[in-house]
Copies of this chain bind each other. A is one copy, B any other.
Amino acid sequence: MIKEKYVALGKKPSAIRVLFEYGKVRKQEVGEDHVFDFSIGNPNAPAPDCVKEAIIDLLNNDTSFHLHGYTSAVGDLKVREAVADYLNKTYNANTDAKLIYISCGAMPGLAAVFNCLIEKGDEVIVFAPHWPDYKVLVDQVGGTLVRVKPETVNFYPDYEDLINKINEKTRIVIINSPNNPTGAVYNEEVLTKISEIMSAKSKEYGHPIFLVSDEPYRDLIYEDYKYPYVTNFYKDSIVCYSFSKTLSLPGERIGYISVTKDCYRAYDLALAIGGSARSLGYACAPSLFQFILPKCLGQTADLNFYKENRDVLYKGLTDIGYEVIYPHGAFYLFVKALEEDDEHFSSVAKDMDLLIVPSKSFGYPGYVRVSYCVDKKTVVNGLPVFKKLYDKYKGE
């Protein structure tokens, strides 16, 4: 009667959540200052002022009926227009309001897209290491997640492996740049290469293979990069964006799905995404947080907050002797574990109240993910614990 796979999923949420929940309990036992929780990607730079200002302005000047009422299921039209304008101005995205679906964050966007495109037995390619819940979402629609390995300098895709893994059952290739968990940002060269491979394979198999670009970290880039917008490289791309990280609103569940006018059956695809989301129970994205968007597009939480953490932690860890991928975006460091078994390594760290996530859960063993969306104190006081951990393995 009750599907056991969901009982199991409900029992063991995810390696990240397990560590995070442990951390909350542990802090009550030994005190906040004695637990160094680098487990979860919960942005801790405060939401930018525009958020609170917009909410209060709306509460004081809009009607309850409009502000809290149902919007169109695909999102309020004016909000979709504002998002389309922003994407066109910022990235030359060649989209319009009808091609925007306002979603409850990136995860429901991915769920709606997978549900809309994947039949039982279809394959979805992802580049390892990757956010664990891609597997949950692909499993849900009966698809098979196929991992392509990375090269281990920049953690860009291994193109030969991509070529070998695409077959006639491949429907979707997922990218996630800036990347969780490595912090890698795909540059124009990487996107061009992926696009070339996917175009050739789409032609070979006689149907488009969609590129699904999961972009919650798009605005969290710490260098003088201009983010290369994916639809400009590969027209059959579906962008799943979230404001969770950009505006530090992960709990509020607001984001969007966007395609370009040149996409395969663009307008039918947009309609189908709406129909798919409705079938999964999505009535509309939270209305208040839809209506703040026109006032907050282009703004971000204070990125220096994360950049400083990154710099201190990267330098601190490499000085100790750790091997760390240099991250250009997001708020994660991907650190080589000091033994083969990353889960054991994480548990040794946990015994020191240092909470870091084993990379096996990201489909790529041998590393740990260190989230640096934490307060400075945790970074500064955490470094000696990383040193203690290092010494335990390497001697003093």
Contact = CB atoms under 8 A, between A and B. Distances in A.
Interface of A: 1-11, 13, 17, 21, 40, 42-44, 46-47, 51-52, 55-56, 59, 63-65, 67-74, 104-105, 107-112, 115-117, 119, 133, 136-137, 139-140, 171, 207-208, 210, 248-253, 264-265, 268-276, 278-290
A276 B3 contact: yes
Q: Which 7 A-B pairs have the closest CB atoms?
A: A251-B287, A111-B281, A9-B275, A10-B271, A6-B275, A10-B275, A46-B64
A47 B64 contact: yes
A65 B42 contact: yes
Contacts of A73: 13, 17
25 contacts: A1-B171, A1-B264, A2-B116, A2-B117, A2-B272, A3-B119, A7-B268, A10-B273, A10-B276, A11-B275, A47-B68, A55-B59, A68-B251, A71-B251, A105-B283, A107-B281, A108-B280, A108-B283, A136-B279, A137-B281, A140-B279, A252-B287, A253-B285, A280-B281, A288-B288
Given A2-B272, A71-B251, A111-B280, 13 more contacts: A1-B208, A3-B117, A3-B119, A7-B275, A9-B275, A10-B278, A42-B65, A44-B65, A56-B59, A69-B250, A108-B282, A137-B281, A286-B289
A355 B275 CA distance: 24
